[in-house]
A and B are shown apart, each in its own frame.
Chain A
Amino acid sequence: GEQVEQLPSILRVQEGSSASINCTYENSASNYFPWYKQEPGENPKLIIDIRSNMERKQTQGLIVLLDKKAKRFSLHITDTQPGDSAMYFCAARTGGYKVVFGSGTRLLVSP
């Protein structure tokens, strides 16, 4: 299969705490895992990605982890700010060229 499951669907955190979003994929041939942030009425914007030759990647308060054995990957946002409130989508590219998206997580960061 080519499904990407994403949890939770809604995540509420306090400003300054961390937020974690988890995704699983079905196709073991998947080799590229981007994460997108989408604000209301806007297009999705790539915030970080990881390829299958890596297990961890970090940039500007974002950490992504990839466990190929478990077919699981996750996004961790450290020190969340109200500006981090948005929809977040994980995605996976299967061996072909298309990227399949998860169902999204609505992150709400309260001051």
Chain B
Amino acid sequence: GPKVLQIPSHQIIDMGQMVTLNCDPVSNHLYFYWYKQILGQQMEFLVNFYNGKVMEKSKLFKDQFSVERPDGSYFTLKIQPTALEDSAVYFCASSLDGDSDYTFGSGTRLLVI
């Protein structure tokens, strides 16, 4: 079926540096999401995005986080500066509309050292 691609699959970064996680959603999907999962734990909602705007964000979506999708290209999550507690797997998801199933990407494993 249609896939959500996430690039890179793994990223190791020094604390304090900036990182950008890239997501290529399903082509006709209009709603985009980021989730954070620490190993073996639950998927925690970070943010959802539609029509060029953040619709909703959680407490985990700190001031250091930002999202954008310039000109229909990648949907990105930027963390600047990174902190040790940002180490996790970040999953991108997209859906056709606000009422449809999500399609999840395979995740980016971020390690901040």
Contacts and interface: CB of A to CB of B under 8 A. Distances in A.
A107 B95 CA distance: 28
A49 B26 CA distance: 20
B42 A97 contact: no
B14 interface: no
Nearest to A43: B104
A96 B50 CA distance: 12
Contacts of B91: 43-44
A101 B56 contact: no
Interface string A68-111: 00000000000000000001010100001111111110000000
B56 A97 contact: yes
A89 B105 CA distance: 16
A43 B48 CA distance: 18
Interface string B19-36: 000000000000101010
5 contacts: A46-B102, A87-B40, A97-B56, A97-B98, A101-B42
